[in-house]
A and B are shown apart, each in its own frame.
Chain A
Amino acid sequence: MKHTISVLVENHSGVLSRISGLFSRRGFNIDSLAVGPTNDPSISRITIVADGDEHTVEQIEKQLNKLIEVIKVKTFGRDDFVARELMIVKVDAPAEKRSEIMTIAEITGAKVMDITLTTMTLEICDRYDKIARFENVIEPYGILEMARTGTVAVERGSEYFSAKK
């Protein structure tokens, strides 16, 4: 099962390598990992999507908490968070295919970022499963290149995840 885990860490150099090292040496599988600054410049937020059963997730949380620079860890419940990731694809788009691709973009909420005589570059920002669906329908046209971020996520509702609480 997939789990989305948010981690608040000290914004120190080396923290990311400690965290990625922890996952590889303990045999935890990461689907994606995204890191960025937060409103507090001393704190970075890492979002990890990991695969594993309940026991594995519990161990991931506990082992993360053991790292001195990890301030807080939270695993989100099934649907109580909003999540997004970003994908940019460059597809084969000869003139006769362009309007079809435009239609797909319109339906899926993707945006056209660049166009040439033979290619189109599209961006989509959505949930993991929506992006997978987009990828599915765009794939037959011929994906030339793809770049994708990890998931970032925030809890729904008025509760919030903060180092101070």
Chain B
Amino acid sequence: MKMTVSQAMVECLKAEGIKVVYGYPGAAICPFYDALLDAENDIKNVLVRHEANGGHSASGYARISGKPAVCIATSGPGAVNLITAIATAYADSIPIVCITGQVNTDQIGSDVFQEADVTGAAEPFVKHSYLLKDPEDVGRVFKEAFYIAGSGRPGPVLIDVPMDVQKMMVDFKYPKSCLIRSYKPTGKGNAWQVKKVTDALRTAEKPLICIGGGVFASNAQQEILELSEQLRIPVITTMMGISVFPDDDPLYMGMIGTHGVTPANRAVNACDTLFLVGARVGDRAVKTPLALEKTTKILHIDIDPAEIGKNIGADYPLVGDAKLVLGQMLDHIKEKPMDIKASRQQWLDELDSYREKIKFKRPVRGTVNPKEFIEKLSERLPENVNICADVGQNQIWASRYKFKKGGRFLTSGGMGTMGYSLPCAIGARMADETRPTFAICGDGGFQMNLMELATAMQYGVDVKVIVMTNTRLGMVRELQTNGYNDRQTAVFLDGSPDFVKLAAAYGIPAVRVTSNKSAEKAIEELATHKGTMLCEVVVDKDFPTL
């Protein structure tokens, strides 16, 4: 059918089942926005308050829906603003498709108003990118972009479209499929290797499973639960793997790493076989991979062959999609049953002895213990929550949330991008309005994204925002305390507004929590109030992360 490229772009989004786009307009993307207006019954067009937040909202949406989500920006500053979100999505392998306007084709390269080489600038952070110059390519490019973003190891794909191209006519038909000869992501694992890995796990004395974000990317939560249960193998996670396992599962030991919990870190040191599933052994998760690989047999599943052997050597590499590979492993176990070592019980007992009962320190008067607050919150909230954590001390406190089955922990694990939580929460909530959704952030991070309160109000997105105010960039303050002789600098958030009044200015009900008693009341309100709400939790400025 004959139409403009802009209309064709909208048809592409419809064909991909896109229901919401997050964006910010400008001259160079106006033709596309104009076409989107005609599709407003099919595609909800959310005006965010900053392009990076549009990208983060798309990220939150993608993580809950399990499919690529879309964000839009104009040329030049708009596109460049989006880059933080692109890099954040790349670091955590989140599928987003970013559409940017570009200056007219014949002006490219001449530094005209609002020209930025965004495909060049974003190159290190995209899975792939396109500069769409030929109108005839529109269908193929969009089809490929969605396919690439969502398949294999997911990631952001950028499509940059010059304004004149958006206005050109094209005889459009959306391709049913795409064939990229140079891109064939792996699915199943090598059958022989699957057997070897399974048997190595079954015969190990002290095996341990380490779950990363790849388990969510491949939607393999059920399979990994089954495998762990059938073989009675205890489980730890990286930050990206939090909430795959319910916290009360007797085999679950918690998050590892610099900011992990002691039982999990002790488990890593004590195990003889470590089975990494979709975990890339980042430096915050495993500080000394070289030491670990010497003492421990490493089995590693990843869909990205480049992750195997990159940070830690693998004795048994296994390339493939976690869901399929774990399925193959479960099949092998069914076909060739084997008694699990009797010594396994000894190992489980050893790990149980590492577990510790947490006692919450009494907070300074007029403040609350943030860890206790998180614990109480998790006791009150239903199973299917989204907990979107920002970055800093608040993130680590939030990471101790006691998840039940079906809960999701969403955070910027790889890039550690402050300001991620609120826009992510908006996207996550819009992807599934049955899920109670919480953004937990610090007073620093909140001031990087609080403009999105307006977005939440404008589109009636029910997110609960918890701001932990320690009047400091707490995590950096702590670094200075411990590593720089407590010479504190550039960490004081003295000019901060009264967050309760600020919320009121947006028409958002808000409470301030300064004691355990007021915490209880606030948590009840957070759990029951319908609509956006803010809760400030006052935390002592010197409260430690761990």
Contact = CB atoms under 8 A, between A and B. Distances in A.
Interface of A: 9-10, 14, 17-18, 21, 25, 55, 58-59, 62-63, 65-66, 68-72, 163
B123 interface: yes
B132 to A, nearest CB: 13
A14 B180 CA distance: 17
Interface in B88-130: 119-120, 123-124, 127-128
Interface of B: 119-120, 123-124, 127-128, 131, 148, 180-183, 304-306, 309-310
B343 to A, nearest CB: 35
A146 to B, nearest CB: 31
A68 B123 contact: no
Contacts of A62: 305-306, 310
A66 B123 contact: no
A37 B183 CA distance: 21
Contacts, number: 35
Main secondary structure of the interface of A (DSSP, over half): helix
A62 B305 CA distance: 7
B306 A63 contact: yes
A163 B123 contact: no
A14 B132 CA distance: 13
Given A58-B309, A59-B310, A65-B305, A14 B131 contact: yes
Contacts of A70: 182
A25 B122 CA distance: 13
A54 to B, nearest CB: 10
Nearest to A63: B306
Nearest to B308: A62
A14 B119 contact: yes
A17 B181 contact: no
6 closest A-B pairs by CB: A62-B306, A71-B182, A68-B128, A68-B183, A62-B305, A25-B124
Nearest to A24: B124
21 contacts: A14-B119, A14-B131, A17-B120, A17-B123, A21-B123, A21-B124, A25-B124, A55-B309, A58-B309, A59-B310, A62-B305, A62-B310, A65-B306, A66-B304, A66-B306, A68-B127, A68-B182, A69-B182, A70-B182, A71-B182, A72-B182
Nearest to B129: A14
A4 B127 CA distance: 26
A68 B183 CA distance: 6
Contacts of A10: 182
B154 to A, nearest CB: 13
Contacts of B123: 17-18, 21
A55 to B, nearest CB: 7
Nearest to B307: A62
Contacts of B128: 68
A75 to B, nearest CB: 15
A59 B305 CA distance: 9
Contacts of B127: 68
Contact of A68 (B119, B131, B180): B180
Which one of A10, A25, A59, A62 has the highest number of Cβ atoms from chain B below 10 Å of its Cβ?
Answer: A62
A62 B148 CA distance: 17
A42 to B, nearest CB: 10
A68 B119 CA distance: 14
